Amino acid sequence: DIVMTQSPLSLPVTPGEPASISCRSSQSLLYSNGHNYLDWYVQKPGQSPQLLIYLASNRASGVPDRFSGSGSGTDFTLRITRVEAEDVGVYYCMQAQQTPQTFGQGTKVEIK
């Protein structure tokens, strides 16, 4: 199975400041079609998870443009340009290049 490793696991942030989360995979997520099968999800307190970014860099419908995803191969990054209070939650990366699809451990984003 592909192992997904996120860092940091805890991220205290100041509103208005930028934030970034790293996700590394044990194998390349770049498929022969040119897509990286890496998605980002967020689970806000008391809610079900929701899709943020798919195929490494595509924002899901309704996701604010302060969120962006980048990377290729085995190294990926989720960035928030200016954190807002509503962004608190646990952020997960997930690979879908191979079955089973596997998640990272999660990064808890909280306001300082």
Partner 1 sequence: EVQLVESGGGLVQPGGSLRLSCAASEDTFRNFWMHWVRQVPGKGLVWVSRIDKDGSGASYEGSVKGRFTISRDNAKNTLHLLMNSLRAEDTAVYYCVGGSGTILEHWGQGTLVTVSS
Catalog residues that contact partner 1 under the rule CB under 8 A: 1, 37, 39, 41, 43, 48-51, 54-55, 60, 90, 92, 94, 96, 99-106
* Nearest distance, CB of residue 98 and partner 1, angstroms: 10
Supply φ then ψ for residue 85, to 5 degrees. Answer: -55, -30
Partner residues linked to 24 by β-bridges: 5, 75
Instruction: Return the DSSP state at 65.
Output: T
Question: 70 vs 81, which CB is nearer to partner 1?
Answer: 70
Question: 68 vs 107, which CB is nearer to partner 1?
Answer: 107
Question: 2 vs 19, which CB is nearer to partner 1?
Answer: 2
d(CA 34, CA 46): 36
d(CA 40, CA 95): 9
* Nearest distance, CB of residue 31 and partner 1, angstroms: 11
* Nearest distance, CB of residue 16 and partner 1, angstroms: 29
Partner residues linked to 30 by β-bridges: 36
